[in-house]
Structure 1
Amino acid sequence: MESIATDSGKIVKMEVDYSATCDEKIPECERLAKSGRLHDALDQLLALEKQTRTGADMASTGRVLVAICRICKEAGDWAVLNEHIVLLTKRRSQLKQAVAKMVQECCTYVDQAPDKETRIKLIETLRQVTEGKIYVEVERARLTHKLAKIREEESNIQEAANIIQELQVETYGSMDKREKVELILEQMRLCLAKQDYIRTQIISKKINTKFFDDDGTSDLKLKYYRLMMEVDQHEGSYLATCKHYRAVLNTSSIMSDPAERQAAAQAVVLYLILATHDNEQVDLTHRVLQDKVLEEIPMYKKLLKLFTTPELIKWSGLCELYEKELKSTPVFSGDEQAEKRWNDLK
């Protein structure tokens, strides 16, 4: 017989199989609820739930828990639904897998809620009962993301960022890698939205960039590097920004689009000439000069070569040749940061 874990972590063995009783009782209670006798139906199902739980019949307990929630939702009584979610998870020796089934079912109700207030109340109830329970950590993370999105739509960026930051998704063993990265990127995005650059930098370290080597991750790769550009542009870390653009350039969707490819290559060159002249910058300059993409933008290749010569560059001469072109790029036009970059180039 199968061993089943209770919520307290105790291992119990199934003693009685209640599947036949459930086959008979659940449809009976559903009919009762539809006829307007919701509370009578709930009383009968709660009595059945006690039997299946004490008999350690996990499959049947899960079915009963789901049925209780479903009839509350179908009756449109969302307050009673919330009440029963809490009640059922607090039952003595409640079975983990049964709670997981109920939580998964209730997660599908969130988008069916009649209004925003009801939706938020259901999300908060589910977040409350899943707190600290590893076996429903993925569901809790998704609910938390939904709540953060609602707060963001209300323009409450601070609260949205705080809500999503409480998730330690990098430790979740049961969550798919892609979903983990998506949620960490959301944490970064909301942190940036409230201009918390230091925390964004800390969160970014949770992502191993080797993940982006896999096929099918290019959308997330571009999202990640664009967020990192925002952080490093704010910090004035030009060499780091240059490297982010190189990573973007090395993405199939960018390489296959001539306009995108050339724009990224231009940014690589411009941030590279803005970077402090040191060994790393010199080394990267020589590598970039060998890049075939620069053949498509000869003016930028010529400009970069100019910065490899030992002679001093005359600012007026540089402006005469390049100012008009450079000031038409996003690197040197559009905002105060661009203006600062132009002054840094001087």
Structure 2
Amino acid sequence: MSTDESLIKAEKDYTEELDAQLPEIRTLAKSNIAAALEKLLVLEKQTRQASDLASSKRVLKEIVETTKDADKDWSLLNEQVQLLSKKHGQLKTAIGYMIQSVIDLLDKAPSEATKIATIENIRTVTEGKIFVEVERARVTLTLAKIREAEGDIATACDILCELQVETYGSMDQREKTEFILKQVELCILKGDFTQALILSRKILVRYFENPDVHDLKLIYYDYMIKISLHDHKYLDVAQHYLHVYDTPSVVADPAQWKPVLTHIVYYLVLAPFDNLESDLLHKINLDHKLQTLPLQAELVKNFIANELMRWPKVEEVYGKELRQSDVFSPKEDDGDRRWDDLRKRVIEHNIRVVSKYYTRIRTARLTQLLDLTEKETEEFISSLVTQGTIYARINRPERVVTFAKPQDTNDILNTWSANIGTLLDHVESIGHLITKEEMMNGIKSQS
């Protein structure tokens, strides 16, 4: 818009007239603002009708500067902004410049009430006008921050989230990202985590590959961690921490990467077992930096080893330090819940280990290995079977748990056929090796 209007040829250049009259009008404004404003409005009409963009911008700025001193509540200023923005033939670039001039004065407002009234006036004037959408967004952000400072989070959130800044082509990508991050923050403070997650998806994650915006990347993943923690999605939390861990500024500072790596380990072991969780746990185990965190390194090794972890022993060895962390501390929100979830993950790990070593096991022996009651054992096994993690069948009359999946006739025949095929391949290979050896020995005896 502004580029096209800058190419419009003015019918008359009012630069000389303004150079001569504006100093006189400023002097007059000190004693009679009404008379000074009247002269400025005459100049505004002349420059507007002549399509003199440069002169129009000068006059509009002068009107803003003059009217702000007319009264304490800036009522005349706001009134003139409304009237001038509706003038027929007013160039859009000139309106945008006038709005920006008012925005530049906001920090000089005589009172908070005046500042808020002026912002609301700008929001009214700019509503529905694409060419001043960025200015509208900026004053809306300022208003939202004012409401937030007052403690009215709900109003601040509603004000800011009504804007769809991701559609603003004229807004810089960084500013756009900062705006959306503020929307996400207010939704989290309001307690609307669903809306916060929806808004977060408007941010292109690949944008954070740019080293210049790694500060925004850390803010983004901090919010994503809070959202995932609210929903108790531990694997998502661990993945968000992994993105933070991969940030150069974090990697370069042990004071930053050590707590991040610690949280990665804690939330990975808290996450329910699946292929992705297991893969990430094994990858973390290969990280040489993990060896600087002995407790966390040992915890990872215990979870990837096919060995039993007795919960009483885990609680005795790791309990004190883990309960002092912000993840498992009783003083933290959901700290006790996460501690209980850790116990569940240990028990589930033990059941998976038992299922690998036993095809059948008596319930009494299984409860002894798991340090559980018979009822708890059945509940955990049923949960893992439902999730598809293991195969198991509980025979209550015989008090036996079977982990071996029964094979039908076709499966048995296929297995037998495969074994016979493998055996024949080995026999053939051995035959070739024997023949080769005989030929080699024959050559040696002849020589």
TM-score range relative to shorter protein: over 0.9
1:22 aligns with 2:12: no
CA distance in structure 2 between the aligned counterparts of 1:313 and 1:22, rounded to whole angstroms: 86
2:339 equivalent in structure 1: 342
CA distance in structure 2 between the aligned counterparts of 1:115 and 1:31, rounded to whole angstroms: 26
When structure 1 is superposed on structure 2, of 233-242 and 257-266 the one drifting more is 257-266
How far residue 332 of structure 1 moved from its aligned partner, in angstroms, is 0.5
2:101 equivalent in structure 1: 105
| Per-residue CA distance 1:276-325 (angstroms, 9 max, x = gap) | 10111111112111122202112211111111123332111111111111
When structure 1 is superposed on structure 2, of 187-196 and 303-312 the one drifting more is 303-312
2:317 equivalent in structure 1: 321
Confirm or deny: 8 A CA contact 1:232 1:240 kept in the other structure: yes
Confirm or deny: 8 A CA contact 1:3 1:13 kept in the other structure: no
CA distance in structure 1 between the aligned counterparts of 2:20 and 2:108, rounded to whole angstroms: 28
Alignment of structure 1 residues 1-346 onto 2, 5 Å:
5=5, 13-34=9-30, 36-76=31-71, 78-333=74-329, 334-346=331-343
Sequence identity of aligned pairs in percent? 44
CA distance in structure 2 between the aligned counterparts of 1:140 and 1:273, rounded to whole angstroms: 47
Q: In structure 2, the residue corresponding to 1:277 is in which secondary structure?
A: coil
Q: Number of aligned pairs?
A: 340
How far residue 273 of structure 1 moved from its aligned partner, in angstroms, is 0.4
| Per-residue CA distance 1:224-243 (angstroms, 9 max, x = gap) | 11111110001000000001
How far residue 189 of structure 1 moved from its aligned partner, in angstroms, is 0.5
When structure 1 is superposed on structure 2, of 281-290 and 237-246 the one drifting more is 281-290
CA distance in structure 1 between the aligned counterparts of 2:229 and 2:266, rounded to whole angstroms: 12
Confirm or deny: 8 A CA contact 2:70 2:76 kept in the other structure: no
CA distance in structure 1 between the aligned counterparts of 2:92 and 2:5, rounded to whole angstroms: 6
| Per-residue CA distance 1:108-163 (angstroms, 9 max, x = gap) | 11010011000001111111111122222222111011100110111100000011
**TM (normalized to structure 2)?**
0.73
Confirm or deny: 8 A CA contact 2:229 2:237 kept in the other structure: yes
Confirm or deny: 8 A CA contact 1:17 1:57 kept in the other structure: yes
| Per-residue CA distance 1:172-221 (angstroms, 9 max, x = gap) | 11212111111111100000001000000000001111122212322211
2:356 equivalent in structure 1: none
CA distance in structure 2 between the aligned counterparts of 1:110 and 1:80, rounded to whole angstroms: 15
Give the direction of change, closer, same or farther, for the CA distance of 1:284–1:50 in structure 2 (3 Å limit). Answer: same
Confirm or deny: 8 A CA contact 1:19 1:60 kept in the other structure: yes
Aligned AA for 1:61? S
CA distance in structure 2 between the aligned counterparts of 1:187 and 1:3, rounded to whole angstroms: 31
Confirm or deny: 8 A CA contact 1:52 1:61 kept in the other structure: yes
CA distance in structure 2 between the aligned counterparts of 1:4 and 1:301, rounded to whole angstroms: 63
Q: In structure 2, the residue corresponding to 1:276 is in which secondary structure?
A: coil
Aligned AA for 2:201? K
CA distance in structure 1 between the aligned counterparts of 2:111 and 2:36, rounded to whole angstroms: 26
**RMSD of Structure 2 on Structure 1 (CA):** 1.7
Confirm or deny: 8 A CA contact 1:62 1:101 kept in the other structure: yes
Aligned AA for 1:176? D
Q: Identify the structure with bigger relative contact order (alpha carbons < 8 Å, sequence gap 6+).
A: 1
CA distance in structure 2 between the aligned counterparts of 1:140 and 1:312, rounded to whole angstroms: 61
When structure 1 is superposed on structure 2, of 139-148 and 67-76 the one drifting more is 67-76
CA distance in structure 2 between the aligned counterparts of 1:307 and 1:276, rounded to whole angstroms: 12
**TM (normalized to structure 1)?**
0.94
CA distance in structure 2 between the aligned counterparts of 1:271 and 1:219, rounded to whole angstroms: 23
**Which runs of 4 or more aligned residues in structure 1 lie more than 6 Å from their structure 2 counterparts after TM superposition?**
none
Give the direction of change, closer, same or farther, for the CA distance of 1:106–1:126 in structure 2 (3 Å limit). Answer: same
CA radius of gyration, larger in: 2
CA distance in structure 2 between the aligned counterparts of 1:261 and 1:197, rounded to whole angstroms: 27
Q: Structure 1, unaligned stretches of length 5 or more?
A: none
How far residue 3 of structure 1 moved from its aligned partner, in angstroms, is 8.3
Give the direction of change, closer, same or farther, for the CA distance of 1:20–1:124 in structure 2 (3 Å limit). Answer: same
Confirm or deny: 8 A CA contact 1:3 1:14 kept in the other structure: no
Aligned AA for 2:151? S
CA distance in structure 2 between the aligned counterparts of 1:195 and 1:323, rounded to whole angstroms: 32
Confirm or deny: 8 A CA contact 2:143 2:156 kept in the other structure: yes
Confirm or deny: 8 A CA contact 1:4 1:14 kept in the other structure: no
